[in-house]
Each structure stands twice: as C-alpha cells, then as structure tokens.
Structure 1
Amino acid sequence: MKAVPQPQTPIFHQIHYFTIITTLVGFCFILLQQALSISLVPPPLYPPLSLLIILNAKASAGLSSGADAGDHKHKHGVEEYYKRMVEENPGNPLFLGNYAQFLYQSKGDLEGAEEYYGRAILADPKDGGTLSQYAKLVWDLHHDHERASTYFERAVQASPQDSHVHAAYASFLWETEEDVDEECMVPSDIDSKPPQFHHGALATAS
C-alpha cells in the first residue's frame, strides 16, 4: 500500500506567518520604546506637598526651640520654595494659604501672613481652615475681637464638620473671654463721683 504524500504548505501561508510574527515583534518594540521613554522622564522639580508640610512643621519646631544656623538655612530653603510656587501659581489658594501659614507660624511675620491669607481667602472664600487661621491671626495681630469672631463664624459655616475649626473657635472664645469682660466693664456712678461727703465733713470739722 502506497503512502499518501503530505501536501506541502503553500508559500503564501509562510509569508502570512512571517508577516504576523514581524508585526508582533514591531509592536512589542514600540511598547518597549514607550516604556523606556516614560521611565526616562525627569522627576518634577518640586518636592511633593506632603513633604513640604513636614518641612514646614520642622521649621516651626526649630523656631520655637531655638534653631541654629543650619535650621535657619533649612527654613530659608522652604520659604524660597513657597515663593516660587506662589509666583508660578498666584491664584492657587492652597499655595497662598500654606505660605501664609509658614510666615505666621515659622517666621513670625504676621504682617506678611495677613497679606497672603487675604489672597488665599479671595481665591477660595469657602476654605474653613484658612478662614480659621486668618481669624486667629487677626486676633494676634490687631486684637480685634469682633473681626476675629466674624471670620471664625465664617469658618464654622464653611466647614461645619471640621473638628479642627470648631476647636480653634472654642479655644479663641475661651482665651478671649476675660479680655472681653474687662473691656465691657464700665465704672459705676458711685465710683465715678468725687468724695464730696468727705470734703464736706472735713470742712465742717474745720
């Protein structure tokens, strides 16, 4: 019995397989190039905001505990970063508020902080945290109880669920209660009158 000859693969089938393999290899090469180009993108020039918040906290701690020359240099670097971010994003309430907080808590520059808090509030009037911080600044800088209370009330309305805002307002009311009571005290008419009786008695005795 003769063996049945196997049909040979047509040449066009071989060309088709070769085309598919070439296409897949080319596609993989393109994906590899894209992956390499993404990995070679340089990192952003600025550190992440979370790191900046940590640096700001460290700068504040250094100011309160007596910082040395290295700490001052570190705070200067943080300030330069804030300045650059504000210059590049002049209407960003987050950067404006963070810079104001740095000036207020780290540098003790209350006048400068007031300016940037004001700009941050204009950019975002509904930020309860910024309103609360500005209210405290108003009290520390101007000792204006009515104005500070107004901003604290705005902060509570803007962020009714923010426990930090409520705690800051309660602390303000507790700390300023005695000052307000002293301002509201008015001398009575009896205390304000001159001691006429004593003068009369002395005149009669003489």
Structure 2
Amino acid sequence: MLIDLDTRRHACDVLAAADKALARAYDHIGIPEWRSADPHFESIARTVTYQLVSTRAASAIWARVLAWSGGKLEPNAVIEAEESDLRGRGLSGPKVRHLKSIATAIENRSLPLDRLSDLSDADARKMLLAVKGIGPWTADIYLMSALGRLDAFPQADVGLMEAYRMLSDAEERDKPKAFLARAETWRPFRAVAAHLLWGYINAVREKSY
C-alpha cells in the first residue's frame, strides 16, 4: 500500500524536527520512496525469500520462484509443490517449510489476510506472528508495505541501524534493544523513519559504486 506524498512530507517534517540524524537523512534524500506491496501471500513469500541473504542472491532466487509459478505465486501452488521443486529454485529447506506453513494458514483461514486491515497494528502483528514462519521482521515489513501502517517498524533491521550510525557519526551501531528504544521517539511515524534511513543508506551505497 502506497502512502501519499503529503502524508510522507508531514511525517518527515515532524521526524526531522525531533531527531538530528533523521533531519540529515531528509536533507540528503528528500521525501523517501515508499516500499509498497500488495496485501497477498506473494508479498509475504517475497519477504521470507529475501530475509538473511544478500539482495542480489535473493533477487535471483525470487526470479526463479516466479518463473516456476508462472509469474504469480499462489498459496495452493506452494502447498502442493514438492519440497525439492522449491529447493531447486534456490530456497533453503527451512524457507520452503516456512512458505508451506504460511500458505496453509492463509488457505485454511487461520491467517485471513483480508481481515488484517481492520485490526490495530498490535492485533494484526499478533495474528501474523501466530503463524510458523512469520517472524517479527517479516510481520513488520508486511504491516508497513502491504497495509501502509505508518508506525510499523522492523526493529532489528541491520540496514536501519547502520544508516543511523552513519548519520549520527557514531563509531558503533546501537544494539537492537537500544535502537528500538530510540525509535520510540519517532512514534507515530516509525515506518517513515525507516524509509528515511533506508533511502539514505541506499543513496550512499549507490554513490560509492
């Protein structure tokens, strides 16, 4: 779900006034692009695929998965697939089992994706986390990108912590717990703060290539 430009601008203004490091990011990149996704199984599956591997490797694996599925990944296709079929596309055994678990939860309605938009952030997150294979980072990314929740926050994201270290000229990154505590000051726009930080670190990396 895409967040409109005026909402992102207002949130960035508020965040820049509250945090000097975020103000530097805002000055550097302007209003960040929003990472939007459709509120479907495929969005969760993509997030699981990208977790804990390099972006380049994940992109290659995801392209092979989509080619295998005919361009669109549906829950029933994953449920019916042999594990070897999915592993042959580059997915690890644990990720295949996670995807099958998530697909099954969606098909049997223990995870009714169409109901999540009616729930609070906390309740929607709780329902996502109840499914084996969906961890905190995956749940938060889904809330942010597919449901457009402005205060969702992928708390242990290394890229966010590194971006903040760079912007604050610190020698070391915050530990995840300390970073989460710092992010409390960014409510109710923690998702916009995340996009500012992602936008900044990606811009720096692109410039270095």
Q: Which has the higher contact order (CA 8 A, sep 6+)?
A: 2
Structure ID, larger Rg: 1
TM, length-normalised to structure 2 = 0.25
TM, length-normalised to structure 1 = 0.25
